[in-house]
Amino acid sequence: MDKPQNLEYLEIAINEFRIKFGDLTEPHRPALWRYCLRLTGSAWDAEDLVQETMMKAFARLAYLGQPINIKAYLFRIASNAWIDQIRKTKIVPEELEIAAQIPDSNETRPAETREAIEILVKTLSPRQRVIVLLSDVFDFTSPEIAAMMETTEGVIKSALHRARTSLRKAALERDEPSGKTQTGLNPPLPIIERYMEAFNKRDPEALLALLEPDVVNDIVGDWEEHGRDQMRKFSLVKWVVDKEKKWVEYGIFEGRPVLFAFRTTDQYERALYEIITLNIVDNHIVSQKWYFFSVEMIEYAAKLLGTPAVTHSYLDREPVLRKTIKASVPFLSSSPSP
Region 297-325: mean pLDDT is 73
- The neighbour count for residue 39, using CB atoms within 10 Å, is 26
Distance (Å) of CA 316 to CA 139, 140, 158: 30, 30, 44
Band (pLDDT 50/70/90 cuts) for residue 41 is: confident
Percent of the chain, pLDDT > 70? 74
Residue-level pLDDT at 68 = 85
Answer whether residue 173 shows pLDDT above 50.
no
Between strands 284-291 and 211-219, the pairing is parallel
Share of the chain above pLDDT 90, in %: 45
- Cα four-point dihedral sign 41, 47, 49, 53: positive
- The second-level CATH assignment, the architecture, of 182-328 is Roll (3.10)
pLDDT score of 151? 80
Bridge partners, residue 289, by sequence: 218, 277
- On whether the CB atoms of residues 164 and 156 are closer than 8 A, the answer is no
Higher pLDDT: 145 or 108? It is 145
Report the chain's C-alpha Rg in angstroms: 22
CATH architecture of 7-169: Up-down Bundle (1.20)
What's the mean pLDDT when you consider all of the chain?
Answer: 78
Average pLDDT over residues 133-155: 82
- By residue count, the chain amounts to 338
Question: Which pLDDT score, from 0 to 100, does residue 320 have?
Answer: 33
Tell me what percent of the chain is helix, strand and coil, each rounded to the nearest 5.
50, 15, 35
Runs of H (alpha helix) within 61-169: 70-89, 110-123, 126-132, 142-149, 153-169
Domain ranges of the chain: 7-169, 182-328
Q: Are strands 256-263 and 271-281 parallel, antiparallel or unpaired?
A: antiparallel
Query: In 3D, which of 247, 255, 277, 251 has the Cα closest to residue 185?
Result: 251
